[in-house]
Structure 1
């Protein structure tokens, strides 16, 4: 039984690559040749037909399908996968370009076009460096852009907009550029400052938290106790993120709360909390809300935006 399962797994792995399919085609061809030699030794007439001939016909059909269909297709898929290079799309006429949503969408239909993401470093409205990336989102470009920036040692501050604010980028800046201050808000930073968000009882940050016993109470009084730690690896960055999972107790203070503690499917409700991300967000918030942080980040739009304004209006680059 174990041997059969091993063979089954090996065969499954083999058909997932062009090399494996090529080997399979060669093995099939060898088997056909072997059957042909055996058939030549058989009598001319066999009652009910020759099982070897039936087997050979079946293998020939299989080999034809392998060579004319499966192999060309898997080679095409492998070439496309290599061109993707971690992306979800690429242009057939420009393999380095990625399909992106354009800011100027005159048809208002969200049309995708092959394009590049230009990253520019400026100081006092002068372009210090620039680079092109195939990533539609900005946060994936920060690390490679800083790595290739030759004049980075001349600056002690890094300022960028909320598109670059992520747990991965904050952690990267803390680890690799600890000698520099960064002024980068996270995506939800502005929204979290609004009165509506701060008064929203459904947000975990607005729930009551007991640090001693490590539990939350939601807006209805449902108690969520710490259940277990969870770890998730981000496919796009490879970053491992750690979460604390809190689950609503099965037994609450009242029957009404016990009903509220369940999902529509009848399971106990759960919430996730990322301590590292929360720490990094609080640190970024403290920096941005300081007088110095407000001033430096406020100057960003006067420093960076005019550069792109000149590109669009003076050089007519759209």
Structure 2
């Protein structure tokens, strides 16, 4: 591991000042960054510890819920307001990693974690995300866990987070602080598709700090869930995952819906096509199948993940069908 400086930020202004120096990285729980440093994938010159900056989880007067960037994953998943109003988020967090890691990991760190592509971690492999312009060995390599949507000739890696899939579906808003001041981003605009620059994971500017996220006052988010399909029941990343919230009217038609997919793209994939096709349609399995098929119409599977489009379609249908059948009182995890 390359030697580095370490400092703990006393407030947001100090964190941004220290984090804007070349080679600086923000340190949350360290569950991803420290691993990357051990592997010499990340070699920051300095770490700015931001774990003491804002871990509150609170319901606000306007109906929104605020989660500070330093909030631990375990605290978020177990919070009464999250369990009651946004069960998909609680379920997604509980589906990720182990209890010990959830106890350490922070919201901000989870948003900014990097891919778990094996070629990214292997410094003997060609990886445009790790070393721009070197190539992508995953495209012709073992690519079972890789992307089927939004990939490019430069990168087919997937985003690993479960939490981020739920936040994408719930229309969360990301709050940022940087040298130019404060700003917000819709969650769906935070992460990038690879294009020709897969080394850039997000739209954050250099030195920008995630200070928290805001969950909207979305009544039907109380009828939401998260399903993760993986190779084993614990400590495995998603082959495909689905976060969804569904609002069905008294006449049985879909008034509104939110859907996001994990394990299929370089970022949490908001299923806008499926959502658009479902609004105003009957909440039936046939409608769900048609919407899922429309969303996956442009899927481009690789040699070893040709099963993913069908798996994603079936998982979308199963999740939405379950939401039409489950009483509200049973939604909380």
The answer, yes or no, to whether TM exceeds 0.5 is no
TM superposition score category, shorter chain reference:
under 0.3
- Structure exhibiting the larger radius of gyration computed from Cα positions: 1
Return the structure number with greater helix share.
Answer: 1
Does 1 or 2 have the higher relative contact order (CA < 8 Å, sep 6+)? 2
